[in-house]
Amino acid sequence: MERVVIIHSLADACAALSAAREAGTAVTLASAAAAAGYAGPAWFQAIIARAAAAVPGAPFSAILDCGAEAGTALAALRHGVRRVRFAGNAEAGRRLAEIAAELGAAVEREPASAPLDLLDCPDPEAACRRFLAGAGPGTARCLGH
Please, what is the average pLDDT of the chain? 92
pLDDT at 26: 96
Range 98-107 average pLDDT: 98
pLDDT tens digits for range 58-87: 999 999 999 999 999 999 999 999 999 999
CATH topology of domain 4-140: TIM Barrel (3.20.20)
- Picking from 12, 17, 51, 14, the residue whose alpha carbon sits closest to that of residue 132 is 17
Range 83-100 average pLDDT: 98
Q: Are 47 and 7 in contact (CB under 8 A)?
A: yes
The domain segmentation of the chain, as residue ranges, is: 4-140
31-40, 89-98, 126-135, range with the lowest pLDDT: 126-135
- Picking from 15, 95, 87, the residue whose alpha carbon sits closest to that of residue 58 is 15
* Helix, strand or coil, per DSSP, at residue 119: coil
Residue 1 — very low, low, confident or very high, per pLDDT cuts 50/70/90?
confident
pLDDT at 134: 83
